[in-house]
Amino acid sequence: MEKIVLPEIDNLHVLDVYVQNGGFTAAKKAFSQSSDDIIDQVKKSGLRGRGGAAFSAGLKWSFMPKTTDKPKYLCINGDESEPGSFKDRQIFEYNPHQLIEGILITCYAIGAKIAYIYIRGEYHKWVKLMQKALDDAYTAGYVGEAMKEKFGTDFFCNIYIHKGAGAYICGEESSLMNSLEGQRGYPRVKPPFPAQNGLWGCPTTINNVETIANIPPIINKGWEWFSKIGEPKHPGTILFGVSGHVNKPGVYELPSGTLLTDIIFNYAGGVPGNKKILCVIPGGSSMPPLRGDQLEGVKMDSESLKAAGSAIGTGGIMVMDEDTDLVKVLARIAHFYHHESCGQCTPCREGTGWLEKILKRILAGNGSVNDLDLLITVATQIEGNTICALGEAAAWPVRFMVTRFRDYFEARVSKEINLEVANKVHSMRHTAIPLAEIKN
Amino acid sequence: MDFKFTPENIERINKEIAKYPVKKPAVMATLYIAQEQNGFISNEVIKEVSLLLNMTAEEVLGVVTFYTMYYQKPMGKNHIQVCTNVSCMLRGGYEIWNQVKEKLGLENMGVTEDHKFSLEEVECMGSCGTAPMLAVNEDYYENLTKEKVEELLKSLSQPLS
Ligand SMILES: Cc1cc2nc3c(=O)[nH]c(=O)nc-3n(C[C@H](O)[C@H](O)[C@H](O)COP(=O)(O)O)c2cc1C
Ligand code: SF4
Ligand code: FES
């Protein structure tokens, strides 16, 4: 199968090698067409965002105002902090120039003069690698004012790297913009959407690294070619990151719609010791977990996964064998979202804390059966009641894990309802419990 | 104690400022540079950064406390970050965490008396496919085993020549 984003070409990260293999011909081709044409082709290609929400890239671009006296911006989301996701770093390392070329074309299509690549702070090495690639591209005249001459066009744009500093929430697009502006990375209330009111109040498009790395091949080989790869409703290849209990963890670029079992057993080499699979999270830790006995026939694209009761997310497949302590896993996930909640919305700030607390209680052997319902109640009260989707990211794994593995969780809690706990929690709204008692 | 950026660092900061239409977005990079020069983000650093970027000290402090990678106290020369998130946990992340904790005699965010080591339990670092992992300052160490960690800690304990 042909690889589009991470082709197996030695030293492709070196500018000369990239150019020898057809690099920057897509940009040249794009600049000879109208920006509307480019947006149209990307729309028709069916390319959907690889950052989590699988939104049509071309459609998103078309939201950018055509007539405005404000500058327009492009942000590339390389925050990559969702547990189970480690794909964008492969692009920074192995194919950075394709990302750069994709940025040039995107800037041209939406009319942006400046693009920022936001890379998570922990990725020091990949910030350096990306910066090196960018410096080389600048020196060779592919980026900045010099590109006018290089490509024989009036258009030019600048690309800068902005390094994060350790905050998962900054991957959320509006948080990313606040972070980039030098503020605390609080997500913004939407609408207005970035295309109306983004960076510094100007029209802004935000796309994931992998999404944009797909643009040059689409322009070069045509939208029809792309639209025929994998599942028609979510075409192209996807970088699947497989981690956890598999023999060969790693990133596999495969057509969308590849069977989940095929990825786990063939590409990732199956489960060590041929153990059974208890649970798989198919798209990064915030996506609904699937039971091991639910995997047969599940295809890895956004529509098929929706039908199977989960979501594609970032394509990070986390595999857990039969010996895994799911309570521990879920408590760890709950801890993560509690830690990463920015604290702006009460349901998220307080709810994630409760989820963690209740799960730790169950983990310590002090849970009772009413705790399971309580977890679902708390999760349900977060969903839909928050400014950003971290609320859902925190609630989904809990709600779906507890519901789908009810038997498993029931075996870990006492069947007796712990009245003391139940009263304390359920009557909280009516009686004033001393603060010290509620804490911990 | 006053804090002043070195002339070289002022130059680096100016390059950062040039990326943006206004000065404020350079605050994250400026804080990194300050941390590199000063070892940690002190109140004096915050004051200096705020003057340089036309921000209030409160705004700068707000940025410092929002992110996990700015430290308001001096950390060890080798700042060890162990990931214990799910993919690492499934492949022994907590064993590595406990091993390092024991070996260094540190709790989360602890610093050894000689300031050679500090320890932090971190969230997913994007190495899930090469788990378990830890980072020493800016460098990732992946596909760890207890033996490799033992060896690594030993090499870091050698007196620097
Ligand atoms: C809590 C949270 C964290 C996110 N983290 C990332 C991330 O690290 N990288 C990313 O590309 N998108 C992330 N997203 C999704 C972005 O908000 C946005 O949808 C995406 O960058 C758009 O790009 P795409 O359309 O190309 O997928 C996150 C969303 C939420 C709610
Ligand atoms: S949902 Fe959570 S992370 Fe998102 S804005 Fe609200 S408090 Fe912050
Ligand atoms: S879970 Fe440890 S690096 Fe992702």
Q: How far is the CA of A389 from the centre of ligand 1 (A)?
A: 10
Domains identified in chain A, total number = 3
pLDDT score for A439: 47
Residue A304 to residues A131, A200, A301, A403, A404, Cα–Cα distance (Å): 38, 38, 6, 21, 18
Q: Select from B81, B90, B94, B121 the residue whose CB has the most chain A CBs within 10 Å, as the one to mutate to test that interface.
A: B90
Residue for token digits 């708390």?
Answer: A378
Kindly report the CATH number assigned to the domain that includes residue B58.
1.10.10
What count of other Cβ atoms lies within 10 Å of the Cβ of residue A182? Answer: 24
Percentage of chain A beyond pLDDT 90 is: 93
Residues of A in contact with B28 (CB under 8 A): 162-165, 179, 182
B58 touches chain A (CB under 8 A): no
Q: Are residues A50 and A166 in the same domain?
A: yes
- Structural domain for B14, as ranges: 7-66
Q: Select from B40, B85, B86, B140 the residue whose CB has the most chain A CBs within 10 Å, as the one to mutate to test that interface.
A: B86
In chain B (161 residues long), the average pLDDT of successive 10-residue segments reads: 94 98 98 98 98 98 98 97 98 98 98 97 98 98 98 88 48
- Are residues A250 and A46 in contact, defined by beta-carbon separation less than 8 angstroms? no
pLDDT in tens, A82-99: 999 999 999 999 999 999
pLDDT score for A436: 56
Query: Cβ(A231) to ligand 1 under 6 A?
Result: no
Of B24, B26, B87, the CB nearest to A83: B87
The first and second tokens of residue A206, run together, are 């935000």
Alpha helices for A208-292 (secondary structure H): 209-213, 215-221, 223-227, 260-261
Say whether B86 and A332 touch across the interface (CB within 8 A).
Answer: yes
Q: Tell me the C-alpha distance between A262 and A349, whole Å.
A: 39
Q: Are residues B47 and B82 in the same domain?
A: no
pLDDT score for B160: 57
Residue B142 to residues B82, B125, B134, Cα–Cα distance (Å): 11, 11, 7
The first and second tokens of residue A424, run together, are 């304390």
Q: Are residues B141 and B82 in the same domain?
A: yes
Q: Please tell me the residue having the least CA distance from ligand 1 atom 28.
A: A172
Of A124, A180, A336, the CB nearest to B85: A336
pLDDT score for A429: 46
The first and second tokens of residue A269, run together, are 């080499």
pLDDT score for A425: 60
To the nearest 10°, the Cα dihedral for B68, B71, B73, B79? 90
Q: Are residues A301 and A426 in the same domain?
A: no
Confidence class for position A396, pLDDT limits 50, 70, 90: very high
For B93, name the nearest residue in chain A, comparing CA atoms only: A244
Q: Are residues A111 and A251 in the same domain?
A: no
Residue B2 lies in a domain: no
Say whether B90 and A318 touch across the interface (CB within 8 A).
Answer: yes
In our burial notation (b when 16+ CB lie closer than 10 A, e otherwise), range A8-28 reads: eeeebbebeebeeeebbebbb
Q: Are residues A250 and A306 in the same domain?
A: yes
Residues of B in contact with A332 (CB under 8 A): 84-86, 89
Query: Cβ(A310) to ligand 1 under 6 A?
Result: no
pLDDT in tens, A359-395: 999 999 999 999 999 999 999 999 999 999 999 999 9
Q: Are residues B55 and B100 in the same domain?
A: no
Say whether A242 and B53 touch across the interface (CB within 8 A).
Answer: no
**ipTM more than 0.90?**
yes
Q: What is the rounded average pLDDT for all residues in chain A?
A: 95
Confidence class for position A416, pLDDT limits 50, 70, 90: confident
Kindly report the CATH number assigned to the domain that includes residue A359.
1.20.1440.230
pLDDT in tens, A126-155: 999 999 999 999 999 999 999 999 999 999
Sheet holding A237-244, edge to edge: A250-255, A237-244, A316-321, A277-281, A290-291
- Closest-lying ligand 3 atom to the alpha carbon of residue B86: 1
Q: Are residues B59 and B109 in the same domain?
A: no
User: What's the predicted TM-score (pTM) here?
Assistant: 0.96
Asked if pLDDT for residue A433 goes beyond 50, the answer is no
Alpha helices for A222-309 (secondary structure H): 223-227, 260-261, 302-307
Residue A173 lies in a domain: yes
Kindly report the CATH number assigned to the domain that includes residue B113.
3.40.30.10
Distance from CA of A438 to the nearest CA of B (A): 25
Kindly report the CATH number assigned to the domain that includes residue A111.
3.40.50.11540
pLDDT score for A2: 86
End of a domain among A196, A227, A258?
A227
Q: Are residues A282 and A297 in the same domain?
A: yes
Q: Tell me the C-alpha distance between A418 and A362, whole Å.
A: 12
pLDDT in tens, A318-350: 999 999 999 999 999 999 999 999 999 999 999
B39 CB-contact burial (10 Å; exposed 0-12 / middle 13-18 / buried 19+): middle
Residues of A in contact with B69 (CB under 8 A): 121-122, 165-166
Say whether B129 and A251 touch across the interface (CB within 8 A).
Answer: yes
**Identity of the amino acid at A218:** I
What is the mean predicted confidence (pLDDT) over A192-213? Answer: 98
End of a domain among A286, A321, A356?
A321
Say whether B91 and A244 touch across the interface (CB within 8 A).
Answer: yes
pLDDT score for A1: 72
Q: Tell me the C-alpha distance between A150 and A147, whole Å.
A: 5
Percentage of chain A beyond pLDDT 70 is: 95
Confidence class for position A432, pLDDT limits 50, 70, 90: very low
Mutate which of B97, B130, B133, B134 for ligand 3? The one with the most ligand atoms within 8 Å of its CB, which is B133
- Structural domain for A287, as ranges: 239-321
Q: Are residues A271 and A172 in the same domain?
A: no
For A342, name the nearest residue in chain B, comparing CA atoms only: B66
Q: Are residues A272 and A400 in the same domain?
A: no
pLDDT in tens, A38-60: 999 999 999 999 999 999 999 99
**Residues forming a β-bridge with A280:** A290, A319
- Closest-lying ligand 2 atom to the alpha carbon of residue A344: 7
Asked if pLDDT for residue A431 goes beyond 60, the answer is no
Q: Tell me the C-alpha distance between A397 and A403, whole Å.
A: 10
pLDDT score for A414: 84
